[in-house]
Amino acid sequence: MVVTKQASLAAPTSRRNFITCGLSALALCVTIGYSAQSHANDHRQISSELEQQVIEWRRDIHQNPELSNREFRTSALVAEHLEALGMEVRTEIAHTGVVGFLRGAHPGPTIALRADMDALPVTERTDVPFASTATGEYRGDEVGVMHACGHDLHVAMLMGAAEHLAGIQDELHGNVMFIFQPAEEGAPPGEEGGAELMLAEGLFDEHKPDAVLGIHVWSAGNTGEIGYRKGPLMASSDRFEIFVKGEQTHGSRPWGGVDPIVVSSQIINNVQTIVSRQVDITKAPAVVSFGKIEGGVRNNIIPDEVYLEGTIRNFDMGIRDEIFEKLTTTAEYTARASGASADVHIHEGYPVTSNDADLVTRLLPTTYRVAGEDKVYENELVTGAEDFSFFANEVPGMFVFLGITPPDQDPATAPSNHSPYFYADEDALKVGVELFVNWVIDYSQGE
């Protein structure tokens, strides 16, 4: 078995850190317009002016999406904003990542808030006036680019939280780290990126937070609804490849060689017994799926080799290791029984995203107060994956879902995240900003 980390090759050397005049003007406008507003309002609520600014940020970012490790414009906007607020700012971490550090006037803990910045290779099909017409290069092809997973909302919400918390710095206990992360959707082939690279480049070395908090918008909830869960929330995600080697022969004389197509079909069937028969599914769900089979060139030629590719998802890191081992053993011995061979490569992706139970319990009253008790619910397990998991493996973490499907629409029929028709109700932005703000205030003051 060969186990490798995904995107383990060297990253590109070109890094950009530029601020355009337009971005500078936007950040200065925000600073001038809102520098004193927080003191005039309840510290726990944002003003209507800031809410509108967050909406404008979101639309600007949505109209100018950028793919993973290419978030140059977005990171420039963020860096200019944080610098205008007087924060300590670090740029170019994990290529395009930006981190702002706000020091409160009073002693207290350090809390990290995270937003991801990258868009997807999706051509937008919505009819909003700020729809993306951007294109980019993905795996050598020119593709449409869209914020089809809501990362534009994440960035705008965290920029709004930074604006508000900087305005109450004199009353703030402890410190706040604002993490604007690139490449959550995965670095391009041959590159490193995302949360794992930010940590490898020393994100938590100087200021290790006491807790890290994140929000992800999603269409499975109506506007302002909050889905939380203690313990595992989102699955680990790993990719595997199996190269099945046989012996080529004429299709009329299969006994003259070793048929890797038949062997591959046996491997596929046998691998399905790993979850159904070999691991204890009472501990945590798991799934192994094949997504690609490639082999052969002609109907009457039995080929030398077949290529298989798939994904492994589960909610327990011990079971994850067990599946890795059993997948390798099953493939190798199934092939050997027919005179073939199987070479298995497992590429580790994102670990299980697991919420610290004590942290969730501590901040649940805050979440109820901000969103309303009738809009907060315990979320089901989600088989999607998130590289927020790397942060939550370092310090106690909490990750929640924020609904963005309009109240008059059934979330079950709404276009899902990653759809070209993905749509977000911007009324949810205020809830997201105020969650960040109130989590910080309550955690730092021990409430």
What SS3 state is found at 88? strand
CA 113 to CA 90: how far, in whole Å? Answer: 15
Return the exposure string of 298-334: e unless at least 16 CB atoms fall within 10 Å of the residue's CB, then b. Answer: eeeebbbbbebebbbbbbbeebbebbbebbbebbbeb
Residue 350 annotated among the catalytic residues of the structure: yes
DSSP class of residue 415 equals P
Contact 359, 322 (CB under 8 A): no
Euclidean distance between CA atoms 294 and 264, whole angstroms: 10
Q: What is the dihedral of CA 36, 37, 41, 46, to 10 degrees?
A: -130
Annotation marks residue 228 as catalytic: no
Terminal Cα-to-Cα distance of the chain (whole angstroms): 49
Are 6 and 191 in contact by the 8 Å Cβ rule? The answer is no
Q: Tell me phi and psi for residue 154, to 5 degrees.
A: -60, -45
Residue in 359, 314, 41, 374 with CA at minimum distance from that of residue 212: 359
Q: Which of 350, 386, 434, 443 is catalytic?
A: 350
Q: Which among 82, 115, 76 has a CA at the least distance from the CA of 198?
A: 115
**Cα 390 from chain centroid (whole Å):** 10
- Catalytic residue list: 350, 426
